């Protein structure tokens, strides 16, 4: 039953305790029989060798657990900003999320990123304030920080008993009781007591706040609250669930996952307050034949429709396609239709994943998540379904790569193997690209940061046995235009004894920041065949990738084909591809082309006594400081700086602050680079 299913993700800043919390969820639900730890490389969800060695999550890992008769499909996502695409594609297909917040660091840079991503996809969430056993832990400050940073309304379902080394357990405001966890049973046994007299006043105060907030969203509860009537627990839970699904407020719980404290009430909150697949609005898709937007109800008996949200390479099985089913049912042996690629493929196997292990399934139905084996042409973001219901679900959006390195095979004979490996990695990771420089013949790979590229080059060596020499990091620039221009291009060439002609008028203009490249055709269609329009679009898309002056990809650019000159006798698609490319180059040259450089949001955390040195380091590199704030974990500097100036910044920052400062950088936008490449 759909109402007994939950599709959730665990998201947070790096080191907030996502994977540690996930391990406890799996242990208490009986999915694993021994708690794994990140520090000793035994975490179930961090199965990659690099994840175990580095102590961080790199790839999102999926598993399924059961709690109180509910099936929970759970995805543990990375916290490092370089792997934000893993979070993006997970949130795209999940119905709810658990946001893990550090009780000492409160809202941290990547917390802001994943919270915004969850807002973009309208994902309801519950918050778990972790690490209450750490010195400086402050549950109530974390609540205030979430309210101030996101404008969200925190709804405390618990308050902590003590903090730091004095943290004992929690006061459950729903049942008005104290909960502690037995150390001997690794927290599996919960110790329930009445609220101690010295804590009863504070507990009643927070219970009153809880009821007041929930009642403000429910007339029925408001009447009961104002009249002093005792509110039944079932009624209260139902109203909290309704408010959470509407994102009117965010339920908050707390604990210390590493010490096995606070996890079972969190799993209860997932079941009680996060949505089932049929609780969320129907997915919207574009019907190819009707050329109209349609809603797709989550119905197991409907036409099959699913979204490929992740691809993982397996040496034996090939591409493992992670699919979220939105409608209908897929069975092993079924033929599916890739609406975007217009290709038919056969499902050879369906698997239920548990990290890197799997179990076979006969079928997967609407609302569920599984891995499909046998789809050779599928890519991340593709919609699979049936030819009778050709619908395209909304594609996922991924940030642009901002840093590049050259890579050369150790021997000439390894070049083909290297290219094959890069193709596999590009298919797996939408934020990783590779290209061959036309002038130098070098292979250039691009990604989200130095760590991202380091992880991928290490995977090439360890997983694919491809040795390569990696160059120094280089910034990935973009090109655009500052103005607007229109140009009419005429193409005429004799090829194979036959005349080929084409005529195109293009208008180019700058778009708003962050829009990317847009193409539209405003030319009258008339008797012009569809393949001519496809040829023009292909020519323009290729030109976007080839750049204007320096060979960097274009961004924030709008191109409109205002007129096409077509002849039935001499015009060919090939002629229009060439004509479109030439028209693009000429129009952009008239519109004041310019080079854009990536600008990063930088967050530096340091002790208060190192604040001056840290601020000096970022301003020396062209950074603009927007604000500073003080937290128990240290002072935090918020700034923006050009990516080119941040290469090697980590070393100089550590040197200036005697190793006491750290920073994270996230792509913000592209801005005009003064003086171009000169």
- Ranges of residues in the chain whose predicted pLDDT is under 50: 38, 41-42, 46-47, 50-52, 57
**pLDDT of amino acid 141:** 94
> What's the confidence (pLDDT) of residue 128?
97
pLDDT digits (tens, 9 = 90+) for 35-77: 655 455 445 554 455 444 555 545 566 788 899 999 999 887 7
- The pLDDT value recorded for residue 78 is 65
Cα separation of 303 and 436, whole Å?
Answer: 42
What does the block give as tokens for 193? 């007591």
Phi then psi dihedrals of residue 107, to 5 deg: -75, 115
**pLDDT given at position 53:** 53
Structure tokens at 312: 């993982």
- Per-residue pLDDT at 47: 44
Q: Is 56 helix (H, G, I), strand (E, B) or coil?
A: coil
Task: Report the distance separating Cα 467 and Cα 456, nearest Å.
Answer: 12
| 596-672 CATH choice from 3.50.50.60, 3.30.70.240, 2.40.37.10, 3.30.2000.10 | 3.30.70.240
Packing angle between helix 233-245 and helix 197-215, nearest 10 degrees? 50
pTM of the model: 0.76
All CATH 3.30.70.240 domain ranges of the chain, comma separated, are 596-672
**H or E element, residue 147:** helix 139-150
**By the 8 A CB rule, do 348 and 373 touch?**
yes
Ranges for all domains in the chain classified under CATH 2.40.30.10:
283-393
Please give the CATH topology (third level) of the domain spanning 283-393.
Elongation Factor Tu (Ef-tu); domain 3 (2.40.30)
Gyration radius from the chain CA atoms = 27
Fold of the domain spanning 483-591: Ribosomal Protein S5; domain 2 (3.30.230)
3-state secondary structure of 619: helix
pLDDT of 142 reads 94
Domain with CATH 3.40.50.300 in the chain: 2-273
Quick one: pLDDT at residue 60?
A: 60
Classify domain 2-273 by CATH number. 3.40.50.300
Q: Contact, 449 vs 404, CB < 8 A?
A: no
Residues spanned by CATH 3.30.70.870 within the chain? 403-476
Closest CA to 432 of 450, 415, 447: 447
- Parts of the chain belonging to CATH 3.30.230.10: 483-591
Determine the Cα–Cα distance for residues 585 and 590; give it in Å rounded to an integer: 9
Q: Hey, what are 38's tokens?
A: 């990140």
What is 403-476's CATH topology?
Answer: Alpha-Beta Plaits (3.30.70)
Residue 140's SS3 state is helix
- The rounded distance, in Å, linking the Cα atoms of 245 and 597 is 40
Q: Which stretch of DSSP H or E encloses residue 558?
A: strand 557-565
pLDDT at 49: 55
pLDDT at position 629, please?
A: 87
pLDDT at 51: 45
The token pair that represents 35 in the structure block: 């708690």
């Amino acid at each position: 039953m759909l109402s007994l299913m939950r599709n959730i993700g665990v998201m947070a800043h790096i080191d907030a305790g996502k994977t540690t919390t996930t391990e406890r969820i799996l242990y208490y639900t009986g999915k694993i029989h021994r708690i794994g730890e990140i520090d000793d490389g035994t975490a179930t969800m961090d199965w990659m060798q690099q994840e175990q060695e580095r102590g961080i999550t790199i790839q999102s890992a999926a598993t399924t657990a059961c709690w109180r008769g509910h099936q929970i499909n759970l995805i543990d996502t990375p916290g490092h900003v370089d792997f934000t695409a893993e979070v993006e594609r997970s949130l795209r297909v999940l119905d709810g999320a658990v946001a893990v917040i550090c009780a000492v660091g409160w809202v941290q840079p990547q917390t802001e990123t994943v919270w915004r991503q969850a807002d973009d996809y309208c994902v309801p969430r519950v918050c778990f304030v972790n690490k209450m056993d750490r010195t400086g832990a402050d549950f109530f400050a974390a609540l205030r920080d979430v309210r101030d940073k996101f404008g969200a309304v925190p709804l405390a379902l618990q308050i902590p008993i003590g903090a730091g080394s004095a943290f004992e357990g929690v006061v459950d405001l729903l049942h008005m009781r104290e909960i502690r966890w037995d150390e001997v049973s690794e927290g599996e046994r919960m110790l329930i007591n009445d609220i101690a007299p010295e804590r009863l006043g504070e507990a009643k105060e927070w219970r009153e706040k809880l009821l007041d907030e929930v009642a403000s969203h429910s007339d029925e509860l408001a009447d009961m609250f104002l009249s002093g009537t005792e509110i039944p627990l079932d009624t209260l839970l139902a109203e909290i669930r309704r408010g959470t699904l509407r994102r009117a407020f965010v339920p908050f719980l707390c604990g210390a996952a590493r010490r096995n404290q606070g996890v079972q009430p969190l799993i209860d909150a997932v079941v009680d307050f996060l949505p089932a697949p049929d609780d969320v609005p129907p997915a919207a898709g574009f019907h190819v034949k009707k050329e109209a937007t349609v809603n797709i109800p989550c119905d197991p008996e409907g036409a099959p429709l699913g979204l490929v949200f992740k691809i993982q390479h397996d040496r034996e099985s090939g591409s493992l396609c992670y699919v979220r089913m939105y409608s209908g049912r897929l069975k092993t042996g079924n033929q599916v239709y890739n609406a975007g690629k217009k290709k038919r493929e056969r499902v050879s196997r369906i698997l239920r994943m548990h990290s890197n292990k799997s179990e076979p399934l006969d079928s997967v139905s609407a609302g569920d998540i599984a891995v499909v084996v046998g789809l050779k042409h599928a890519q991340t973001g593709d919609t699979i379904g049936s030819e009778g219901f050709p619908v395209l679900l909304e594609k996922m959006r991924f940030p642009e790569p901002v840093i590049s390195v050259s890579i050369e095979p150790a021997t000439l004979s390894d070049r083909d193997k290297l290219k094959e490996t890069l193709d596999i990695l590009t298919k797996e990771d939408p934020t990783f690209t590779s290209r061959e420089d036309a002038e130098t013949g070098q292979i250039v790979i691009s990604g989200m940061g130095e760590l991202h590229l380091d992880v991928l080059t290490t995977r090439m060596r360890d997983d694919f046995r491809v040795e390569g020499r990696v160059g120094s990091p280089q910034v990935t620039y973009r090109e655009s235009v500052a103005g607007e221009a229109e140009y009419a291009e005429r193409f005429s060439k004799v090829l194979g004894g036959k005349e080929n002609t084409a005529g195109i008028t293009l208008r180019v203009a700058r778009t708003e920041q962050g829009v990317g490249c847009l193409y539209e055709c405003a030319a009258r269609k008339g008797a012009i065949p569809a393949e001519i329009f496809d040829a023009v679009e292909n020519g323009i898309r290729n030109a976007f990738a080839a750049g204007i002056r320096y060979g960097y990809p274009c961004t924030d650019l709008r191109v409109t084909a205002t007129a096409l000159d077509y002849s039935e006798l001499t015009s060919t698609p090939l002629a229009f591809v060439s004509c479109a490319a030439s028209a693009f180059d000429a129009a952009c040259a008239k519109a004041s082309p310019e080079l854009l450089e990536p600008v990063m949001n930088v967050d530096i955390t340091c002790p208060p006594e190192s604040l001056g040195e840290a601020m000096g380091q970022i301003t020396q590199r062209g950074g603009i400081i927007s604000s500073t704030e003080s937290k128990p974990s240290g002072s935090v500097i918020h700034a923006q700086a050009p990516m080119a100036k941040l290469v090697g910044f980590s070393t100089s920052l550590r040197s200036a602050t005697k190793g006491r400062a750290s920073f994270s950088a996230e792509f913000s936008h592209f801005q005009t680079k003064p003086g171009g490449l000169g």
